């Protein structure tokens, strides 16, 4: 049943018609649980609150299925605006973005123009920018853009997904760039030809790449809510005498707040991935796919609003 629910919500997350329709309904169906506001100023208030508690932040302007140049340029300007707000308000935050929201599916020239404009602003304000990893079909181009930008800008990172068979080789190939990497399990539905279908195999591979990147000496962001993975990372810290300056735990806004607080109290760096924007549907559906408990939370919220 859990796998059926996961597949159902992943199917919904890729539906362009539902994504566009959802914008008309605002933050219903539990979106406010996982999304911090519709604009960067609303998000900045949440960031400041979390900074004051000791958390650091990755902020993400949500956007999916952008297929025209005008919207891609508007998305780039929003990223630049977010960087400027981070700098002006002296927030402890980084920026994360999806290349498809900046025109990657339109043309290489457009996405690179938008990215260089964003990266130049980020460099001026000393803000790190992470390129999100999307579905498998866009992996090669994402890595190509990352390695190209990495040769021009020090303040750029990207994401690798443990559920892909090829991730170890990608990690090895990127090592020469001394990359800043966010390591995740993976949140898209992929074919068994390219990705592990079983959770146990994904978990095993996830542990393998965490250890691999840490022993390379690269800064590693471990993005998980999985207690077993967190404990494994702590064991690596003790076994290999790793500095806590070499890694951080990353977690999603609105999920496992208790765990976030506990890790912070234990002295670990905890970064919260905090999205904002009107284009919330696809992101929200992937969060529902990840944990059945999230579905119950949303249903309770909808029932309360309907009374």
Which residues does the annotation mark as catalytic?
132, 182
Q: How far is CA 237 from the centre of its chain?
A: 24
Residue 149 CA to residue 305 CA, distance in Å, equals 46
- Give the number of other Cβ atoms within 10 Å of residue 179's Cβ: 20
Q: Report residue 47 as tokens.
A: 């960031």
| CA atoms within 13 Å, Cβ hemisphere of 239 | 9
Q: At a CB cut-off of 8 Å and minimum separation 6, what does 146 contact?
A: 131, 156, 158, 179
CB-CB contact of 210 with 231 (8 Å): no
CA-based end-to-end distance of the chain: 29
Residue 70: its H or E element: helix 69-88
3-class SS at 160? strand
């Amino acid at each position: 049943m859990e796998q059926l629910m996961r597949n159902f919500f992943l199917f919904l997350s890729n539906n362009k018609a539902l994504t566009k329709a959802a914008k008309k309904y605002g933050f219903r169906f539990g979106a406010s649980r996982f999304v911090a506001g519709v604009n960067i100023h609303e998000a900045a208030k949440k960031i400041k609150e979390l900074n004051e508690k000791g958390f650091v932040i990755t902020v993400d302007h949500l956007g999916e299925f952008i297929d025209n140049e005008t919207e891609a340029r508007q998305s780039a300007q929003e990223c630049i605006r977010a960087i400027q707000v981070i700098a002006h308000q002296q927030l402890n935050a980084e920026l994360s973005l999806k290349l498809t929201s900046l025109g990657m599916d339109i043309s290489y020239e457009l996405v690179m123009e938008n990215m260089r404009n964003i990266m130049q602003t980020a460099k001026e304000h000393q803000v790190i920018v992470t390129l999100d990893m999307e579905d498998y079909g866009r992996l090669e181009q994402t890595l190509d853009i990352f390695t190209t930008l990495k040769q021009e800008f020090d303040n750029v990172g990207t994401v690798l997904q443990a559920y892909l068979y090829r991730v170890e080789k990608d990690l090895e190939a990127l090592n020469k760039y001394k990359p800043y990497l966010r390591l995740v399990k993976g949140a898209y539905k992929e074919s068994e030809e390219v990705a592990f279908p079983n959770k146990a195999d994904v978990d095993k591979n996830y542990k393998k790449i965490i250890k691999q990147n840490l022993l390379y000496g690269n800064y590693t962001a471990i993005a998980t809510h999985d207690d077993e993975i967190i404990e494994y990372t702590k064991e690596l810290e003790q076994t290999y005498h790793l500095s806590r300056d070499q890694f951080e735990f990353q977690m999603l806004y609105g999920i496992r707040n208790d765990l976030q607080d506990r890790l912070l109290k234990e002295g670990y760096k905890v970064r919260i991935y905090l999205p904002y924007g009107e284009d919330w549907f696809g992101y929200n559906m992937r969060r529902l796919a990840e944990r059945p408990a999230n579905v119950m939370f949303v249903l309770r919220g909808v029932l309360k609003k309907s009374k």
